[in-house]
A and B are shown apart, each in its own frame.
Chain A
Amino acid sequence: MSYRKFMLWRTMVFIIVVILVGWSVASNNPLIPIPTVIAGIVIVQLLKRGMREVIVDERVFSVTDKAAMLVFRTFVILAAMAAATMLGLNQERYPELEQAGFTLAYSVCTLLLLYYIAYIYYNRKYGGKE
């Protein structure tokens, strides 16, 4: 299977999974999303095995790293600002925003903590330990 065919099949699988998950959420059916996502992952892995070309290499990892870091930084900054805004608003007028603000704030803190742990792990793994 060529790279283009693989990408086409992968996109089709992704669209089908999204449609099925969306439909299950709309119809309040909680049993469909998990097996659908698992089946999607399994199908994509099977498609990868049928590839004769290399489809993942250091450039792909580099692009993935940069994209992930950009999304992480953007999310943390925007979510922190949103959380501060929600918590700073008048709590008596907008009581529901307090819960949302705390949820967002804790999410940001958890994300930063996980990032810090992962950073320490990889820093030590790649010789950063003194």
Chain B
Amino acid sequence: MANIRNRIRRLRFDHDEMTQEELANLAGCTRQTIIALEQGKYVPSIELAFKIARAFGVSLEEVFQYEE
């Protein structure tokens, strides 16, 4: 798995405990994908990463970080 971490769980918490289903609907993906992302089991495409960042109203780097 690539060394890409994300702050989706934290950002959901900061956005009034947004549910996984709400985020999935905003990003246009399944709730299972949000679960997989939060568990670090799946790395999204650039498009989905942008959609998730847009759903939170933040930049891509604030959601996803690449670690060497």
Contacts and interface: CB of A to CB of B under 8 A. Distances in A.
B25 A54 contact: yes
A59 B31 contact: no
B4 interface: no
B36 A53 contact: no
Interface residues of A, number: 10
B48 interface: yes
A58 B48 contact: yes
Contact of B31 (A3, A56, A62): A3
Nearest to A54: B30
B64 to A, nearest CB: 15
Interface of A: 3, 53-60, 62
Interface of B: 21, 24-25, 28-33, 36, 42, 44-45, 47-48
